[in-house]
Amino acid sequence: MMSSENRSDFSASCSSISEEARAKINLALHVTGQRPDGYHLLDMLVTFTDHGDRLDFMPSPTDEFTLSGRFGETLAGDGGTNLVLKARDLLREVIGPLAFPVRIQLEKNLPVASGIGGGSADAAATLRGLMRLWGTSLPEEALAALALKLGADVPMCLASRPLIARGIGEKIEPVPELPVLAMVLANPLKGVSTPEVFRQLATKNNPSLSLPPSRPLAADWLAAIAAARNDLEPPARELVPEIAVISAMLQAHGALLTRMSGSGATCFGIFATMAAAEDAAAALHDARPDWYFQATETVSGGA
């Protein structure tokens, strides 16, 4: 560990490091079984958006953690349960003396517990950012195993690129041909319990995800996504009727396809252009300023 004097000198000479924690969107989520330990087996087509949380990391005399952003206050009482702090502490155990104290600033722009991987994305961004700040790296398999300890979604959030995830989320296959999609994220800011959604699921051995072998055109992808499903959406709609309302609002404002992401309650609408998505988000915000609407683009699979 650095001495206080060396740490102060290093802090003065080192600018902050930033990482984007992109929203994770389940374009499709098929529940295909359940393991004896209770974990559900899933087939997921996943992409990530330009919009998300932001984390800044800087050397500090002592560990600090601060919150800002629209949804920062929601996490203010989270204490040691926050995945950012868990990721910091778990990585520090592995890194050892190189892991000097750090100030972490989380700008929380995504709704909390909303089916778009906010906490998992924050944890993944923390791993990426602290490895850069601490000047170290881990072998790919070791990093994946560490990420999985933080949650089933964290390994895919480490990639933050279009992918297919299977198992409990740890079996990842990149999908570089997935195009950029213009999208509106929509959430009624009403909580939905993930365990309760799974408990209400009528069938847990559903058909697996099947995509056409060749999908070179954006229109082909839209059809392939439309032919898939989110098995968690029907039970989530029963628990939170606003999910059906917000999906209908997206359709009424021109979405080509709407679906719930994850276990909810965030829904997404895919639009023909970014301008159409921005117009829809503005109109939807005017109609329900107390809800969450955000126009964004997904990241390119080939980037």
| Residues belonging to the active site | 24, 153
Q: Angle at the Cα of 29 (from 23 to 32), degrees rounded to 5?
A: 145
Q: Which of 245, 242, 209 is nearest to 27 (CA)?
A: 209
Copy the structure tokens of residue 35: 């393991």
**Starting from the edge strand earliest in sequence, which strands make up the sheet with 182-187, in order?**
257-260, 267-271, 182-187, 292-297
End-to-end CA distance of the chain: 37
Q: What is the CA radius of gyration of the chain?
A: 20
Residue type for 222, please? L
Q: How far apart are CA 263 and CA 73, in angstroms?
A: 23
